[in-house]
């Protein structure tokens, strides 16, 4: 049987607080184009969890969500982040309505009960407990594994902390027997503290004295901690912008991974290689897409980063965003790709619609072709005119340094050449 639905994630992550109701939302996407898909949610721990709604219908190729509610707990989870004893089973089946059953939740539950064995497509959903409360508890206990796994599952957790909470967390970490390990985990994950902060009487740069062991330059450190003033000072020097650490990461890779957009902008404006690949083949754009960082993705696309560069497993930035369920980022990348295709085909109506929806005029393919390059080389003068009206950069260059005017001349379409020149292209 072909897959009926796609889960936003195979694990539901719940921000845990003692004695409080905690909620998480799960999204199901229908992959069935011909019929609604019914779903039913069962939990292994009904004494702990509620599901709302426990059953439902998803329209063809549409989405549905359900909420998992953890009842107030007066004790910490026995294990976290992963909870091996808590899980959910999602049962799905194409829904064929008849006079016996309606779409009411109780009726749908009865409909599922009437189905023959092995006629449903089932998915398992694991549970992880995360959040600032458990992170601080793990730090205070010196539980490096739990700290690492919470940070891995909840990448934005540190950036959401107030300055006071960040400083407090650092002070707790520096008082541990294994302080170096835990502090390194926090700093590498993006814990941001003021440069003047000391922790337990220890100056910040003394907290982690082994930056060099990672192969980090001063620029790597300043970018990783998003210290824009320090980044700017370092960029005024004559040092290289694209030094690599031991994982092959440039400072731009670190800025992108951590969502430090100001530092990333300073780097690209100073000439950093926007398409540099680390040892795993990932670019800065790939990392931003995998993190679901819309602002970083938009910024990198606008400066001409190539979204088609694959990592060492052949996966693109769009593949990474799609696999992680970052639909907004997928939409941005897809919109740019579709606009490029529409320009190449001279499809004015489609292109206009995509541009009005925010498709980037600077989106380019593996050859550095933008929509304007594609339209110019094909001689689609009306498409070229539309792009000019939307404010496209007429002097943009592909990977070989060709402008759209160069390609239009090579294509031999005089009218397209005239449109470009009349709109300001330099001969």
Residue 139: partners with Cβ closer than 8 Å, 6 or more residues away: 147, 169, 172, 173, 176, 182, 186
Helix (H) or strand (E) holding 25: strand 22-30
Query: Which three-class secondary structure state does DSSP give residue 185?
Result: helix
Strands 121-130 and 11-15: parallel
DSSP structure class, residue 71: P
Tokens of 100: 């016996």
- How many C-beta neighbours within 10 Å does residue 395 have? 12
DSSP structure class, residue 98: B
Single out the residue of 132, 115, 234 nearest to residue 186, CA to CA.
132
Per-residue pLDDT of the chain (427 residues; tens, 9 = 90+): 688 999 888 899 999 999 899 999 999 999 988 889 999 999 999 999 999 999 999 999 999 999 999 999 999 999 999 999 999 999 999 987 665 777 777 888 888 888 888 889 999 999 999 999 999 999 999 999 999 999 999 988 988 888 888 888 888 888 788 887 888 888 888 887 654 444 443 344 444 545 666 788 888 888 887 788 888 888 886 567 898 989 999 999 999 998 889 999 999 999 899 999 999 999 999 999 999 998 999 899 888 888 888 999 999 998 999 888 898 888 888 888 888 888 899 989 888 888 887 787 888 887 889 899 999 999 999 999 998 888 888 998 888 889 999 998 988 889 999 988 888 887 6
Calculate Rg over the CA atoms of the chain.
26
Helix (H) or strand (E) holding 201: none
Separation of alpha carbons 50 and 54, rounded Å = 8
Angle at the Cα of 319 from the Cα atoms of 65 and 57, rounded to 5 degrees: 20
Tokens of 404: 């759209």
Digit-coded pLDDT (tens) for 144-171: 999 999 999 998 898 888 888 888 888 8
């Amino acid at each position: 049987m072909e897959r009926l639905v796609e889960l936003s994630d195979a694990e539901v992550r719940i921000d845990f607080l003692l004695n409080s109701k905690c909620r998480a939302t799960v999204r199901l996407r229908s992959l069935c184009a011909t019929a609604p898909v019914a779903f039913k949610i069962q939990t292994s721990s009904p004494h702990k969890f509620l599901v709302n709604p426990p059953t439902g219908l998803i329209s063809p190729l549409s989405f549905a969500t359900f909420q998992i509610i953890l009842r107030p707990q007066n004790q910490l989870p026995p294990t976290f982040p992963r909870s091996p004893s808590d899980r959910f089973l999602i049962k799905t089946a194409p829904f064929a309505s008849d006079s016996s059953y309606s779409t009411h939740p109780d009726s749908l539950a009865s409909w599922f009960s009437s189905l023959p064995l092995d006629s449903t497509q089932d998915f398992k959903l694991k549970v992880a407990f995360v959040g600032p409360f458990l992170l601080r508890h793990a730090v205070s206990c010196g539980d490096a594994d739990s700290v690492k796994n919470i940070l891995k599952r909840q990448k934005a957790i540190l950036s959401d902390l107030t300055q006071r909470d960040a400083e407090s967390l650092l002070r707790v970490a520096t008082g541990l027997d294994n302080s170096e390990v835990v502090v390194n985990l926090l700093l590498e994950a993006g814990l941001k503290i003021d440069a003047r902060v000391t922790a337990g009487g220890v100056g910040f740069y003394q907290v982690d004295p082994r930056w060099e062991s990672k192969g980090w330059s001063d620029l790597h450190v300043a970018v990783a901690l998003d210290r824009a003033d320090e980044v700017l000072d370092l960029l005024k020097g004559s040092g290289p912008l694209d030094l690599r650490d031991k994982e092959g990461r440039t400072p731009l890779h670190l800025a992108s991974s951590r969502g430090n957009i100001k530092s990333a902008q300073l780097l690209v404006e100073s000439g950093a290689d926007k398409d540099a690949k680390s040892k795993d083949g990932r670019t800065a754009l790939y990392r931003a897409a995998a993190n679901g960082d819309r602002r970083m993705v938009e910024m990198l696309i606008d400066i001409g980063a190539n979204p088609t560069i694959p990592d060492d497993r052949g996966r693109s930035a769009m593949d990474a965003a799609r696999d992680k369920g970052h639909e907004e980022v997928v939409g941005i990348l897809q919109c740019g790709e579709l606009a490029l295709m529409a320009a190449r085909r001279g499809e004015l109506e489609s292109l206009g619609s995509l541009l009005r929806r925010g498709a980037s005029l600077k989106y380019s393919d593996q050859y550095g072709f933008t929509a304007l390059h594609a339209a110019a080389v094909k001689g689609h003068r009306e498409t070229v005119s539309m792009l000019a009206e939307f404010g496209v950069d007429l002097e943009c260059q592909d990977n070989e340094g060709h402008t759209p005017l160069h390609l239009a001349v090579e294509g031999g379409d005089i009218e397209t050449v005239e449109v470009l020149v009349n709109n300001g292209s330099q001969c």
